[in-house]
Amino acid sequence: MGQYRIAQAAYEEGDWDAFLFNMELVRKAEPEAADVLYYIGEAYRFKGETTNALNAYNDALKLDPNFGPPYLGLARVRLIANPRFNAEFLFEEAIKRDPNFGEVYLERARYYLSRGDIEDALADLETAEKLLPGSPEVYLTYARTYLAAEDTDKALEYAEKSYAADITNLPIYELLGDLHLEKGNYERALEALRVYTAYETEDAGGFGKLGKAYFYLGQYEFTIDAIDRMTDLSRNGFREYYVYRGLAHLELGNADEAVSDLEVAVDDDDRSFMARLGLARAYYLDERFGTAFLQIDIARSLAETEEEQALTLYWRARIREKREDIGDAIRSRQGPPRPR
């Protein structure tokens, strides 16, 4: 049927209005076809018109209660409307009617993952992988599940598989960025996040991550630009990235900006050694030596490694010198007395 082919082409292009127009014509020609109504529901779901999608799925089930896919559609739109909705029975109804419908297992795996049920998510992904071999979405969900399980090696393995299967899928670039940041592969994180933010230009968190990658590569101007974009998009969110802009300003000698950002960072996480040490240094740069001294003592209490202890002693000595307490400065530079 010509109308169906036109609709199919529109579907592949993501032109949902054209798809719906042509599928309504197909529906008039085939009024008893439940699958036509299901696809109409899918188009409405992709458009974000969940009420229309819900009606189309229900109409499909009125025509054929044993058609499995509309139950999956209902689960999806119910979860969009209420992420806490218990969709178990809808997934079960879909599987009962079509046990080889791979998308149901994939969607239920995502559902389990959102609830922290790693074991059941992995079980459904195994089934989904058999029914949807080579699916980039299955690999992507595997990667997210292993990341939730704190197995970054497995997560990266499946993320790379997802990328190889579909290099046009933007979410994989964000996930690769997350994983490479986690593993300290900052150049690869930057590569992925630059692609992601080039297309997802309204994702504040993506720009925060991009700024973090730039910071660890010593590209401080770019760090500031990226996190400026983040704060333009979200004034009150993603405060965990302020530390990187603050430290970038610090490295560039911008005292006022460094103090402002690092105060936010400490307020967000008052147990962060990085933020506390940075704030002490920012106050030092701003010649607020008394306040800097208070912060360096707090940082000292948060230090967990010998390197962190050494940094606090070094900066404590520098601050003491500016406060003209030379004796204490010398003792700070020497470190704690050695046992005899």
Provide the pLDDT confidence category of residue 3 given band limits of 50, 70 and 90. Answer: confident
Going by the DSSP 8-state scheme, the letter that residue 340 receives in this structure is -
Provide the pLDDT confidence category of residue 331 given band limits of 50, 70 and 90. Answer: low
- Asked whether residue 114 carries a pLDDT value surpassing 60, the answer given is yes
Return the pLDDT at 327: 53
pLDDT tens, residue by residue, 227-244: 999 999 998 889 999 999
- Give the mean model confidence (pLDDT) for residues 188-206: 98
CB 275 within 8 A of CB 296: no
pLDDT tens, residue by residue, 267-308: 999 999 999 999 999 999 999 999 999 999 999 999 999 999
Higher local confidence (pLDDT), 335 or 165: 165
The architecture CATH gives domain 272-340 = Alpha Horseshoe (1.25)
Return the pLDDT at 28: 87
Mean pLDDT of the chain: 94
Kindly report the three-state secondary structure assignment for every residue of 186-214.
HHHHHHHHHHHHHHCCCCHHHHHHHHHHH
CB 299 within 8 A of CB 274: no
Domain range summary for the chain, segments of one domain joined by +: 272-340
**What is the pTM assigned to this prediction?**
0.86
Return the pLDDT at 26: 84
- Asked whether residue 340 carries a pLDDT value surpassing 50, the answer given is no
The region of weakest confidence among 179-183, 266-270, 274-278, 336-340 is 336-340
Q: How far apart are CA 194 and CA 213, in angstroms?
A: 10
- Give the mean model confidence (pLDDT) for residues 125-146: 98
Percent of the chain with pLDDT over 70: 95
Percent of the chain with pLDDT over 90: 84
- Asked whether residue 185 carries a pLDDT value surpassing 70, the answer given is yes
Going by the DSSP 8-state scheme, the letter that residue 323 receives in this structure is T
Residue type, 221: E
DSSP SS3 for 87: coil
